[in-house]
């Protein structure tokens, strides 16, 4: 009887301690952490989220970095990687043979062709021949600013003869991509990063991050709200970088994303004129409509494609496109500083 009594005491004590542990667990609040890494898509990635410890957050950050490195390598047009067919592999085989690719390349290119149609060619994944020409001149201009110059019209016309989107042959059954023109090349700089960020946000949820904000350069994606249920507040950068007002406005995100394209970070100057990295497929020149365009949408790949496309359009055409689409809003900053919005864009102007 004494042994039974003692066992009962031990069980009761265990239940009390278990109850205390449960109460403590229920009242434990994950802490907010932030981490960064560099190299993917040639920009800084910042992740803000919640975890029980720094160690736990660091493990998740490492997993996110590994995933983003994978997408970076897939969409790389400059380097090859052992055992991986990427965009460079496709470009190297232009006019030669189809290339079997990962589903994440195939689906990205499929989205790229869809957005080409939706934007009337302002988003152009087969525009690599012209973009590479401008890239060469921009790199030389940055190395030697005093002798910076523009591509000639003859050079641009020659490259533009090899940008037919219909010659990007996607075979879904065999998961292959074939460029039917030996001198054409793919460049997904206008959509690839956004697509990757969207996939990264989905992966964050898979590894247990229910409240996080992911920023890859100008692409920001919310994975749920902040831990207290309030939305994340994301600033829209002022394209006038030396201004005493670094942000023009802020938007609130509990889901979805905000993507900004502009002329104020990647550019070079020729005879005192700025020429940015975004090139309009209709003119083969950098557009001069806006200083920046920001797009808020549910999908980061779509938002990335649209921010580039709207940057290449006059406001009237761009706002008409945005108003036709569901769950898409935009903000335009003119060269003169004028700010315009689509009808549903909700913003807090920075004071």
pLDDT interval class at 28 (50, 70, 90): low
- The mean per-residue pLDDT over the stretch 225-245 comes to 91
Distance CA 156, CA 129 (A): 9
Residue 4 exposed, middle or buried by CB count within 10 Å (0-12, 13-18, 19+): exposed
Whether pLDDT at 338 is above 80: yes
The second-level CATH assignment, the architecture, of 33-77+190-266+286-349 is Roll (3.10)
Which SS3 state, helix, strand or coil, does residue 139 take? helix
Distance CA 300, CA 20 (A): 44
Q: What is the predicted pLDDT for the residue at 242? A: 77
Helices (H), the chain: 2-27, 54-74, 87-92, 103-118, 128-143, 153-160, 192-206, 300-311, 315-324
Q: Domain segments of the chain: what residues?
A: 33-77+190-266+286-349, 90-179
Whether pLDDT at 20 is above 70: no
- The mean per-residue pLDDT over the stretch 16-34 comes to 58
Q: What is the predicted pLDDT for the residue at 240? A: 86
Q: Domain 90-179 sits in which CATH superfamily? A: ApbE-like superfamily (1.10.3980.10)
Q: Which two three-digit tokens encode residue 49?
A: 């989220």
> CA torsion, points 346, 349, 350, 351, in degrees to nearest 10?
-150
Same fold, 33-77+190-266+286-349 and 90-179: no
Measured in whole angstroms, the distance separating CA 130 from the mean position of its chain's CA atoms is: 22
């Amino acid at each position: 009887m004494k042994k039974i009594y003692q066992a009962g005491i031990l069980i009761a004590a265990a239940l009390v301690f278990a109850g205390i542990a449960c109460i403590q667990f229920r009242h434990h609040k994950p802490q907010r952490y932030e981490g960064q890494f560099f190299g993917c898509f040639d920009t800084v990635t910042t992740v803000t989220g919640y975890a029980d410890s720094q160690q736990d957050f660091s493990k998740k950050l490492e997993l996110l970095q590994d995933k983003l490195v994978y997408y970076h390598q897939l969409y790389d047009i400059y380097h090859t990687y052992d055992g991986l067919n990427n965009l460079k592999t496709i470009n190297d085989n232009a006019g030669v043979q189809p290339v079997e690719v990962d589903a994440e390349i195939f689906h990205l290119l499929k989205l790229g062709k869809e957005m080409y149609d939706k934007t009337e060619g302002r988003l152009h994944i087969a525009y690599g021949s012209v973009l590479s020409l401008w890239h060469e001149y921009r790199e030389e201009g940055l190395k030697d600013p005093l002798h910076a110059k523009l591509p000639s019209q003859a050079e641009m016309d020659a490259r533009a003869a090899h940008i037919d989107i219909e010659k990007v042959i996607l075979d879904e059954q065999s998961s292959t991509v074939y460029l039917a023109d030996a001198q054409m090349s793919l460049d997904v700089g206008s959509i690839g990063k956004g697509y990757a960020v969207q996939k990264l946000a989905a992966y964050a949820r898979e590894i247990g991050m229910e409240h996080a904000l992911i920023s890859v350069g100008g692409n920001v994606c919310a994975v749920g709200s902040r831990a207290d249920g309030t939305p994340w507040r994301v600033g829209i950068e002022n394209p006038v970088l030396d201004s005493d007002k670094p942000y023009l406005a802020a938007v609130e995100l509990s889901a979805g994303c905000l993507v900004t394209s502009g002329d104020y970070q990647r550019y070079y100057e020729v005879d005192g004129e700025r020429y940015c990295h975004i090139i309009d497929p209709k003119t083969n020149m950098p557009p001069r409509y806006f200083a920046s365009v920001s797009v808020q949408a549910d999908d980061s790949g779509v938002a990335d494609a649209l921010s580039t496309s709207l940057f290449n359009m006059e406001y009237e055409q761009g706002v008409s496109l945005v108003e036709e689409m569901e769950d898409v809003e935009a903000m335009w900053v003119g060269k003169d500083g004028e700010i315009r919005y689509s009808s549903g864009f909700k913003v807090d102007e920075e004071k």
